[in-house]
Amino acid sequence: MTSPKADKKIESIDAEMIVAVGEALADGSGVRKALPDKGRLNIDRPLPFLCVYRAPKAREDIGTAHLIMGEAAYLLAPNDAEPGLRPLVKAIAEALSAKYGAFLIIETWSAEKMPKTGFFSTASPTKFRIFTDKATDTLPSTVETLEESLEALDIRKEVELVTGEGFTPPDMEPLLDDETIRKMSCLMLGIEVSPIYRDAETGELYRSILSSLRRKFSNALQHTFFEFTHVQTSDRPKHPHTLGRRTMVDAVWEADAELAALSDKIKYLFAVTPVNSNEAYDDFAAEDFEKDPVFHYRLLSFDPEDLKKQLYSISFESIEDPTMAYLLRDKRIELDREITLIEDRNTPRFLYESLQLFPPVEDELMELAERILRLPKVPDNGSNGRLSADDIARLGESEIGYYRERYPAVDATVEVRKDTPPGMMVSSGNLMIGYGTEIAIGRVNGLLQHEVGTHIVTYFNGKSQPLKLLYGGLPGYEQLQEGLAVFAEYLVGELTLARLRILAARVVAVRRLTLGKSFTEVFHELRDDHKFTDRTAFNVAMRVFRGGGLTKDAVYLRGLVEVVNYIRDGGDISTLLVGKMGFEHLPIIRELQWREVLKPAPLEPRYMTMPESAERLQAIKVGTKIFDVI
Q: What is the DSSP string of 212-238?
A: HHHHHHHHHHHHHHHHHHHHHSS---S
Average pLDDT over residues 386-393: 94
Residues 268 and 180 in one domain: no
Residue 113: predicted pLDDT: 66
Q: What is the pLDDT of residues 406-456, one digit of tens each?
A: 999 999 999 999 888 888 999 889 999 998 899 999 999 999 999 999 999
CB of 277 within 8 A of CB of 295?
A: yes
Residue 315 counted as domain residue: yes
β-pair partners for 77 = 54
Q: How confident is the model at residue 374 (pLDDT cuts 50, 70, 90)?
A: very high
Q: What is the pLDDT of residues 295-305, one digit of tens each?
A: 999 998 889 99
Residues 173 and 51 in one domain: yes
Residues 276 and 183 in one domain: no
Residue 121: predicted pLDDT: 55
Residues 183 and 40 in one domain: yes
Residue 4: predicted pLDDT: 55
* pLDDT at 171 exceeding the cut of 60: yes
Most distant CA pair in the chain: distance in Å? Answer: 93
Q: Could you tell me how far CA 502 lies from the centroid of its own chain? A: 29
Residue 594 counted as domain residue: no
Last residue of a domain, one of 283, 314, 343: 343
Q: What is the pLDDT of residues 182-209, one digit of tens each?
A: 999 999 999 999 999 998 888 899 988 9
Average pLDDT over residues 338-367: 96
Integer Cα distance of 137 and 141 in angstroms: 11
Residues 50 and 71 in one domain: yes
Average pLDDT over residues 531-550: 97
Residue 482: predicted pLDDT: 97
* pLDDT at 48 exceeding the cut of 90: yes
Residue 328: predicted pLDDT: 95
* pLDDT at 120 exceeding the cut of 60: no
Last residue of a domain, one of 279, 313, 343: 343
* 176, amino acid identity: L
Q: Which of 221-235, 303-317, 331-345, 373-387 has the lowest mean pLDDT?
A: 373-387
CB of 441 within 8 A of CB of 458?
A: no
What does pLDDT average to over the chain? 92
Distance of CA 301 to CAs 266, 267, 538, Å?
A: 9, 11, 28
Integer Cα distance of 464 and 58 in angstroms: 49
CB of 248 within 8 A of CB of 325?
A: no
Say which residues have a Cβ less than 8 Å from residue 334's Cβ, sequence separation at least 6. 357, 475, 476
Helix H or strand E segment including 445: helix 441-450
Which domain, by its residues, includes 295?
248-343
Residues 174 and 269 in one domain: no
Residues 210 and 285 in one domain: no
CATH of residue 102's domain is: 3.40.630
Residues 100 and 162 in one domain: yes
Residue 177 counted as domain residue: yes
Q: What is the pLDDT of residues 563-581, one digit of tens each?
A: 999 999 999 999 999 999 9
CB of 501 within 8 A of CB of 373?
A: yes
Residue 285 counted as domain residue: yes
Residues 91 and 180 in one domain: yes
* pLDDT at 391 exceeding the cut of 50: yes
CB of 295 within 8 A of CB of 320?
A: no
Residues 165 and 78 in one domain: yes
β-pair partners for 127 = 158
Sign for the CA dihedral angle at 567, 571, 573, 578 comes to: negative
Q: What is the pLDDT of residues 590-617, one digit of tens each?
A: 999 999 999 999 999 999 999 999 999 9
**Looking at beta carbons, which pairs linking 177-186 to residues 24 or more positions away fall under 8 Å?**
180/90, 180/93, 184/93, 184/94, 184/97, 184/102, 184/103, 185/97, 185/101, 185/102, 185/103, 185/232, 186/93, 186/97, 186/102, 186/103, 186/104, 186/105
* pLDDT at 55 exceeding the cut of 80: yes
* pLDDT at 118 exceeding the cut of 50: no
* pLDDT at 139 exceeding the cut of 90: no
Q: 3: which DSSP letter?
A: P
Tallying the residues shown for the chain, one arrives at: 630
- Return the number of other C-beta atoms located less than 10 Å from residue 11's C-beta: 8
**Looking at beta carbons, which pairs linking 612-618 to residues 24 or more positions away fall under 8 Å?**
612/492, 612/493, 613/491, 613/492, 616/490, 616/491, 616/493, 617/491, 617/567, 617/573
Last residue of a domain, one of 244, 277, 299: 244
Average pLDDT over residues 34-41: 91
Residues 63 and 136 in one domain: yes
CB of 296 within 8 A of CB of 345?
A: no
Residue 302 counted as domain residue: yes
Residues 78 and 215 in one domain: yes
Average pLDDT over residues 552-561: 97
Integer Cα distance of 334 and 479 in angstroms: 14
Alpha helices by DSSP H, 35-140: 85-100
0.85 surpassed by pTM: yes
Residue 351 counted as domain residue: no
Please give the share of the chain, as a percent, with pLDDT higher than 90: 81
Residue 401: predicted pLDDT: 97
Residue 173 counted as domain residue: yes
Residue 153 counted as domain residue: yes
**Domain count for the chain:** 2
First-to-last CA distance in the chain?
46
Helix H or strand E segment including 487: helix 478-491
Residue 3: predicted pLDDT: 60
